[in-house]
A and B are shown apart, each in its own frame.
Chain A
Amino acid sequence: MKAAPAALPTLADTAELIRRREVSPVEVTTGLLERIERLDGALHAYITVTADVALRQARRAEAALAAGTYRGPLHGIPIALKDLYDTAGIRTTADSRVLEHNVPAADAQCVTRLYDAGAVLLGKLALSEFATGSVVEGPFPAARNPWNPDHVPGASSSGSGAAVAAGLCLGALGSDTGGSIRIPAAYCGVVGIRPTYGRVSRRGVVSLSWSLDTAGPLARTVTDCALLLQALAGHDPLDPASAAAPVPDFTAGLGPDLSGLVVGVDREHFFGPFVEAQSGAAVEAALGVLRGLGAEVREIELPLLDVAGAALNTIHLSEAHTYHEARIRARPDLYGPALRAYFRLGALAGVADYLRAQQVREKIRRQMLAALREVDVIAGPTTGTLPPRLDAPGTAMVDRFSRRSLTAPFSLTGVPAISVPCGFSADGLPIGLQLAGRPFDEATVFRVAFAYEQATPWHTMHPQE
């Protein structure tokens, strides 16, 4: 399941080669388009490949370099977008029949920021219908896991995880409502960060649950994710949730030493019998690595996480219903059966249910922030399960309420959380380590993830072609 190292260049390595003009943006883009042509027929990571746009942007990036203009580490770097980011003149479907022929007039703010940084758009990536859980009822084929195509790549940013892992782009944008960046990152053996709620604009991103939705990147290394977030982060006065928080240099503090840092572990909620043995063992080993790098690993207790799933699900289904209500009444046939029923469920929730969930959310947030005053990050598995088979029972929408989510607590509280590869199962399926930090302190989350990544070999391993 593991190919030779160096089969896939990183974003940062490619950026350095472009900066030194040892490789051109057109060469990099052409190589990736050829790779997509060769491999994506089996993976279905892309819904739309924008080859003409990519080559035009790459030529422009090359011309700018020739003229002495270098925009920074994303200059000429080919990336791809989960197909719920608006792209002017390019179809944006959310893998839904509702938006199957939707061509936005304007770019999402994230897309504008990436273009301003010099990035090249390879295409739009698969997702579950309207970014909802593991639903695969949309009009486009379900993406497959590059480590084993019989298994899911994780949801809802399924194409983002698959494309990054398979080397079909140098970085991708996903979106994370309850775990939809971190879960595909874990299942595909790549890095994905859900930034602090409010850190990245969601203007022009199809909404699912607006008090939870967060835009963010996936890439093959921590450094690559930090470089992408650097371009994305910043206040957008036209996104009501956007925060006017200062944006630090996310790569400045990356290094091998974690002396003085405290890593919190809540065993009750992140290491119970709901975590498969191989995943638990890999994360326990990761905690040992963090200790070896100088961090103190300290037990913490977050008892209110018992109800995090109940609060998140109630908020999620209520807000999603509100967003879709008019369309689902007018054209229910345009929604898949499972998603249609889930979105209708929000009509059965009362105002009191929603407000009570928000009240509980705030109590959980206060408990989480109190813990994060005692520790610098909280660590645990990203998921309790290995990537399920595509046809496995338990991956359907219908089991949503019985599954324990290890990503939900950080979604609910709006703190930044990253998934970084921490091993493989006996069958060669990836396992993810989740690290969450204080609001707007992505820098510390990156620091811990980077030190761990550089001390371990997982980021050098790639799926066989």
Chain B
Amino acid sequence: MSAPGRADFRAAVELAGLGDLPPDELALLRHYFDDWRAQVVQLRAVLEPADEPATVFVAAPAPAAPPAGATRRDREAAPGAGR
């Protein structure tokens, strides 16, 4: 999705399949969207061309492999595993 499309509230809502929300819910969503878009434009401003391919966020050391004997249920119960 191109940035201009995402920057347009109606287009973004239709793409997300949320176009049939009641008017009061759309109004609140619009309020959030406008506030957030005003913030998010700041991000592009601090990135330089050299950052684009090179900057990769690493929040923590590499995840350790599950131990021998870990079950599929154990893996699925891990945070971020769609619990």
Q: Which residues of A pack against B, CB within 8 Å?
A: 106, 197-198, 202-205, 207, 210-211, 213, 235, 237-245, 304, 306-307, 309-311, 313-314, 317, 337-338, 340-342, 344-345, 347-353, 356-363, 365, 398, 400-402, 414
Contact = CB atoms under 8 A, between A and B. Distances in A.
Contact of B79 (A207, A307, A341): A207
18 contacts: A205-B79, A237-B66, A238-B66, A241-B63, A306-B42, A306-B46, A307-B43, A310-B43, A313-B36, A344-B21, A345-B36, A347-B17, A351-B1, A352-B3, A352-B6, A359-B51, A363-B51, A401-B39
Contacts of A203: 77-79
A241 B60 contact: yes
Contact of A363 (B25, B32, B46, B79): B46
A94 B17 CA distance: 27
Interface string B13-28: 1001110010001001
Nearest to A312: B39
A359 B55 contact: yes
Given A198-B61, A238-B66, A314 B78 contact: no
Contacts of A204: 77
Nearest to A210: B80
B39 A309 contact: yes
Given A345-B36, A359-B52, A363-B46, A237 B64 contact: yes
B68 to A, nearest CB: 10
Contacts of A211: 57, 59
Contact of B46 (A198, A304, A342, A401): A304
Interface centre among A235, A237, A414 (most CB of B within 10 A): A237
Contacts of A342: 32
A362 B13 CA distance: 30
B18 A241 contact: no
Contacts of A341: 25, 28-29, 32
A430 B29 CA distance: 34
Given A344-B18, A348-B13, A350-B3, A207 B43 contact: no
The secondary-structure label for the interface of chain A is helix
B40 A310 contact: yes
Contact of B47 (A210, A347, A350, A356): A356
A174 B75 CA distance: 24
Interchain residue pairs A-B with the least CB separation, the first 5 = A198-B60, A401-B35, A347-B16, A210-B80, A310-B39
A243 B47 CA distance: 29
A364 to B, nearest CB: 9
A401 B6 contact: no
A445 B18 CA distance: 46
A202 B79 CA distance: 6
Given A237-B66, A359-B52, A360-B47, A243 B36 contact: no
Contacts of A340: 25
Contacts of B44: 356
Nearest to B81: A240
Contact of A243 (B51, B61, B70): B61
Contacts of A311: 43
Nearest to A358: B57
Given A348-B13, A352-B1, A400-B35, 4 more contacts: A238-B75, A304-B46, A313-B36, A341-B29
A158 B7 CA distance: 35
A237 B65 contact: yes
Contacts of B1: 350-352
Given A341-B25, A345-B29, A350-B6, A314 B59 contact: no
Given A313-B39, A342-B32, A398-B31, A362 B57 contact: yes
A346 B56 CA distance: 21
B83 to A, nearest CB: 7
Contacts of A317: 36
B73 to A, nearest CB: 10
A349 B56 CA distance: 19
From B3, B9, B57, residue with most partner A Cβ within 10 Å: B57
A337 B28 contact: yes
B31 to A, nearest CB: 6
A59 B39 CA distance: 54
Contacts of A237: 64-67, 70
A29 to B, nearest CB: 30
B53 to A, nearest CB: 10
A238 B6 contact: no
